[in-house]
């Protein structure tokens, strides 16, 4: 973690919370644990002052905006099953002709649709490749 010799004043931190100014303060608070804690304290004071205004809580507003489709689980499960079936066929094809999975993918048309019905992107050429899937 970066060590800082100088830290913004409370007044500058309050201004940053309200306006996001300046870029220099932004860079500082994003790397300074001490100032991130100070920001939290300043924010708590402000929240206590403005409490009881009857404003919609942010979490509730976000939930209303980012509502999850009712059939999400069903569609994802179905889509995954389709993908697994396609993958099993591909493995069989690769084994039958003694070729690698990448080659098998190249010589067969994409079969697995995603939840919207488009052709599924090739997972192995994806920047977020499964081989790079974050380990816990």
Partner 1 sequence: MRQGTPTGLASADQLGLSLAALIDQHGPAVYRLARSVVSDPGLSDDVTQETFIKVWKHLSTFRGDGSVRSWILRIAHREATAAVRRRRDRAVAPDQIDDTASAPPVAGQVEARLAMETFRGALEELDELSRAILVLREIEQLPYEEIAEVLDVPMPTVKSRLLRARRFVSTALEEWRD
Q: Which residues bind partner 1 (CB under 8 A)?
A: 1, 16-18, 20, 26, 29-33, 35-37, 39-40, 43, 46, 54-69, 72-73, 75-77, 79-80, 83-84, 114-116, 118, 120-121, 123, 126-128, 130, 132-136
Residue 17 has which token pair? 């919370």
The CB-of-94 to partner 1 minimum distance in angstroms stands at 16
117 class by beta-carbon count within 10 Å (0-12 exposed, 13-18 middle, 19+ buried): exposed
Beta bridge partners of 113: 119
**Of 64 and 96, which has the nearer Cβ to partner 1?**
64
Nearer to partner 1, 71 or 95 (CB): 71
Closest C-alpha among 111, 107, 55, 119 to residue 88 = 111
């Amino acid at each position: 973690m970066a060590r800082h010799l100088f830290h913004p004043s409370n007044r500058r931190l309050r201004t940053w919370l309200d306006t996001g100014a300046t870029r220099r303060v932004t860079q500082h608070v994003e790397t300074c644990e001490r100032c991130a804690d100070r920001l939290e304290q300043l924010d708590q004071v402000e929240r206590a002052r403005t409490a009881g205004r009857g404003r919609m809580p942010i979490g509730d507003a976000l939930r209303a905006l980012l509502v999850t489709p009712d059939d999400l689980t069903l569609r994802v499960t179905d889509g995954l099953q389709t993908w697994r079936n396609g993958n099993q066929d591909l493995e069989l094809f690769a084994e039958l002709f003694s070729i690698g999975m990448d080659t098998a993918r190249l010589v067969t048309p994409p079969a697995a649709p995603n939840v919207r019905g488009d052709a599924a992107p090739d997972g192995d050429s994806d920047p977020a490749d499964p081989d790079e899937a974050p380990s816990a």
